[in-house]
Amino acid sequence: MKKLLLTNTLTAFLAGVVFFSFIFSPFDLSRKFESKKDVKIALENLHKMKERAELFGDVYNPNESEEESLDKKDSPELFAQWQHDIRTRNGEENPSYPANYKIKELLKAKNVSSFKELKRNGTKGGLLWVERGPGNISGRTRG
């Protein structure tokens, strides 16, 4: 009991010390630089980064790119034309697959001729379950 009390007291004391050290810290977080020397170093680093960006073409010029992007408009007819072109084989005028061919093939695979029949019956020719073996033996056994 004494051990537990001592441990809890010590933990509370350490937590209090850490808490008050953060609250009453001598650092002023509103200042970004300690001295003029730090400002000078920061400006030199900024100039070096700017020169490097200009050398490698990483300069962001908001005037050119933003104005060009504002002038562009969407063109859904070009997207539809592109979709048509990628589905059409060379030498043909239209795609060889009809619209909704995936759904039709799925219905064929399930031997269902329409969505209504699919909803009504669930599956055509449902599976029959034949229970085998006694019911008092549990799961798989290894031999």
Query: Could you tell me if residue 89 is inside a domain?
Result: no
- CA dist 112 and 74 (Å) reads 41
Closest to 114 measured CA to CA, from 94, 127, 100: 100
Domain total of the chain: 2
- CA dist 111 and 117 (Å) reads 10
Q: Comparing 104 with 22, which gets the higher pLDDT? A: 104
What pLDDT was estimated at residue 13? 80
Please write the tens of the pLDDT for every residue from 29-82: 445 556 777 777 777 877 777 777 776 665 555 565 665 665 566 778 888 888
State which residues form the domain around 64.
31-68
Please write the tens of the pLDDT for every residue from 95-143: 888 878 888 888 887 776 666 665 665 555 566 777 777 777 766 666 6
Query: Could you tell me if residue 113 is inside a domain?
Result: yes
Query: Could you tell me if residue 42 is inside a domain?
Result: yes
Tokens for 14?
Answer: 């350490």
Q: DSSP for 44-111, please give it.
A: HHHHHHHHHHHHHT----HHHHHHHHHH----HHHHHHHHHHHHSPTT-SS-SSPTTHHHHHHHHHTT
Task: Name the domain boundary from 48, 68, 88.
Answer: 68
What's the pLDDT band for 94 if we cut at 50, 70, 90?
A: confident
Query: Could you tell me if residue 107 is inside a domain?
Result: yes
Cβ count within 10 A of residue 28: 7
Q: What is the residue whose two structure tokens read 């029959």?
A: 128
Query: Could you tell me if residue 57 is inside a domain?
Result: yes
